[in-house]
Structure formats: structure tokens, C-alpha cells
Structure 1
Amino acid sequence: ILREQNIMLSSNDTFLVNYRPANNISNGETIRHLKIISAKRYTIVEDNIVIAEGTSTVATVGALLAELNIPLYVADEITPAVNQPFVDNLTIEIQRSIPITIVADSKRIMTRATGETVYDAINSAGFPLSGQDYTIPNSDTPLQANMVIEIVRVLETVEEQHQIIPYRTLYYPTPELPAGQQEVIQIGIEGLQVTQIRTRYENNQIVSRVQSVPWIVQPPTHQIIIYGIR
């Protein structure tokens, strides 16, 4: 049939008869379906190094990797994705993750991550920094295999302490009132002084406590009483 149609097969093509490889067809079996799967060329690059080249008739990127016994870790980055169709002249790029240990939130997690720096690794592993959080070693440190990365969670709280400033009572003589008589001409009002205490926690432990210089929010209003001397 193929010869009649001038169809040429290469040694890498797959020829299916009745949905099975042609060499599995028994003599005398009625031919109902023919399918030729042409071999497609591929190049596989791992961490910028070509590790495989050739042809295959599989349907997807994932199937090609399985055929070649190339394993993938969950954290590895692959382009195109494993569920994408395998097309001719396809270049598949794999960026391998490396093993690291992350110490964070009272846990020690052995995982794998990708990236060039500690910052890249913790983000790819799902441990982003927030606010004033920092890492040991520093987040811009080049990433290395089997590195132990500690994430220090930082929290700062500000507490205000209020202190009442008492008012004074001032007495002034006046000839306008008879002796022994008093009159309040200004009511006393207490003032308010505020002090801030800034506390820094690292991994839920207090590492510093700083008290600000007190400032007066509202000065007191002194009470004034006049008394008669007439």
C-alpha cells in the first residue's frame, strides 16, 4: 500500500496498522486503519549544556523525557512544559533545581530550588520575605547546593504610654474682693505626655526595646484662683 502511494518511511518513523505496530499484525488480518507517525528531531539542553539530540515519534515533551529516562524534580524548570506537544526541531531547556535546607517558622525543610541567589531560592520554594524579614546568609548570596538558609521573621511593635501632667493651682490677691473671699477665674485642666516604646522581635524573641524621648501632647492649663484683700 505504501509503495502504491509513493510513501517512504525512515527507520525512525512509526507505522501503525489497525492502531498497532505493523510487526504485530498477523497474516491475513484485514487492514482497516493505517497511520504513519513521522519522527521529529529534538535537542535537550540541561543547565546550558546539550545532553541529548535525536529523533522520536512520541506526542508530548513529557513522553520524550520518559522515553529517554530523563527524570524531573518538581522544582526543576522546563521549557516548554511537559504537557506541550512534541514538534519537529524542538529544543527543550531544563534548569535543574538543587537541594537546599530552609529553616523558617520553627521548621526545618529539606527541599529543592532554582535561581542564582538565596533570594531566588526561597521564593521558588514558597518562603518569601515580608517586611523587615531577612536571611542568613544574606539574600544576595550566590546559591549553592546543600546550602542551609535561615529565614528570620521580624516584627516591630510600637506601644504608647500616656502620663498625666497635673496642673498647678495659682493664687493671686485682688483688692476687688473682700478679705476671705475666693473666686476661680480659670479651671485647671490636666496635660498629657506620651512616650513610645518600640520593640523588635526576631523569630518571636525580643531582641531590642527602645524608648523614645517623651513629648507633651497637651500642656496642662493651670487653675487660677484670686482671693480678696480688701
Structure 2
Amino acid sequence: MKSGPYKRRERPSVFTERKREIALVVCTAVLLVTGLAGAAREVKVIVDDQVISVATTALKVGDILRQAGVELHEGDEVTPGVSERVYGSATITVTRAVPVTLAVDGREIKMVTTGPMVKHVLAQAGVLLRPDDKVSPGMEAGLTAGMQIKVIRVTSEVVTKQVRLAYRIEKRSDPSMDRGKTKVLRPGVEGVMEQKVLVTYEDGRPVKEKVLSSKVVRQPVSKLLAVGTRNPVRTLYTSRGAYRYRECYTMLATAYEPGPTSCGRYADGYTAIGMKAEPGVVAVDPRVIPLGTKLYVEGYGPAIAADVGAAIKGNRIDLLFETVEEALRYGKRWVKVYVLEP
């Protein structure tokens, strides 16, 4: 009996076995993804402080946000990114951008940012601060919509200044000038002080000065002023005419006659300055009214200070009458005595 040829079965190679294993893993993964994609799962969407839970089969972040009703605006920040895919119970975070205005270096920059603080805005705008610069509000302040942020550039320099020093005014009484009048005897000269000053500027505007040192380079010279002390000329109108006068005294007036009754046994009919003793002569205290001064005495008339008396001291005046009777009749009274102009 004739038998056919014998065929031996070959075993699969190791390489073929590895290919089968890889194909099995890929098929399993596809089945898993397909299963996950087809099944709805819960995704949390956090918008600022609000949490929205959404059941979805979508994988792309942008699709999930649309399904959650979240509308994105310019500058909003989304984590993970809008075009990325998420699997399982994922969490998507949306940080809303707010509009702010940044004023710096003479410019006004309008921008939207997610911040969350002022310092982040400056970093986003590429603003570099110097050590003394100021920021309002502060760097750590939280952002709010419409916030105005201002950067104030602070600089300083030392400058030399000349400061004027005022002169004093010295007054000297002048009895030869009427009261209220003055005359410059020596003009005043201002002094000069040199100062080293630290000047601080904010945005180029000087806001503070600090004197570091000072020295007087020229002393001031005082102004010398003559001040009139004499009463101005005034006019006295009487029934006997008009009289010009400067001084007026209120005095206690008494009366005397030129004979021995009033002047003693040595009376010779002449006054202390050698004038004939007659009506119109009056006795005064020379320390108050100099002898020889022309006067007008209220209720008596024109007179001349030509005599003295032992009892006539200070603001007292003694009026000469012709007779003892007239002197006694006059008695004693207060009167105004006008010192007349020569």
C-alpha cells in the first residue's frame, strides 16, 4: 500500500504572536473609548466662584462649555484649553477677564485681564517699576471691572537755590516831621542764602523739597526810616480869628495880677523873660511849654508864655489880669491851651 507524503504543521513565530497581542490591546482601547464616548458623564465647570455640573458625552472643552451655556469673552482664561479633550469626570475652570485702565508714563492703556491683582496687570503690560515709584491702588489690590490703575514715576535730584533774605526796618523818631510822615534815611538791601535742596518729583512735577544745607552769602542791610512825631498843623477858628496850631493841652488855669498882691513885695511889673507884665502874658511850666511860645487860651484869648510861678508845675497855667478883682473873678477852671505856630 502506498501512502502519500507526510506534511508537518509549523508553529507560529514569536513575531507573529507579538503582532496579535498588540492588535488585541488596540481593539480593547478602541472599544473602551467608544464606550466612554457613547456614555454620558458628569463634568464640573467652574466660572469664577460659580460651579456648574453638566452631564455630557462631548470630549472637547469648547463643546462642553457651549452645552453648559458658558459664553466666553475677550481675555477669559480656560483651563484646560478650549480645543483640548477631557475624559471622565473632569473639571473645567473659566476665569473671567475684567476691563481695567492703566495710566503710566503719560499713556492710558485700556486692557482686559484675568489678574487677579494689580501686580499681574503691570506684568502683563510689561511695566517695570523703579524703587521709589508709586502704584495706586497698591500692588496686592484685587481687580474690579473698570478699575483705574495709576503708576506714578518718582524721581529726585539735588539742586542749588538762592533764597532772598528780607531786611529789617528800623524806625527813628523825628520831631521835625509831622506825625504820619516818613523819610527813608537808608534803603534796605536784601540778603542772599544759598541752599542745597533735595527736590522730589512725581511724574515730572515737584511735590516735595528738603533742605540739605544752607549758608548766607550776603547779609541783609536794614532799612532806616525817619518817622515824624510832630502833630500836624491844624486851624482853630474863634471869634477873634483863625489860629494855626500843632499842640493842644488841657490845663488847670488860675489867675494873677502884676502887683504885690499876687507877685509879692518885689513885684516890678516885668515877667521872668523881661516882658512888661500885662494882659496876654501867662505863666507856665517851661518843661511843658517853652518860654516865649505863643498860645491861645480858651476863654482868655491870644497869649504868650513869658512868666513862671512857684505853684505852676506840669499842666497848670496862670493867666495875667490887670486887677485883683478880675483875677479873683476868674478863679480856677480847666481850659484848652493851643500852642500856636510861629
Q: TM-score, length-normalised on structure 2?
A: 0.36
- Higher relative contact order structure (alpha carbons within 8 Å, sequence separation ≥ 6): 1
Higher-strand-fraction structure? 1
Scaled by the length of structure 1, what TM-score is found? Answer: 0.50
The structure with more radius of gyration:
2
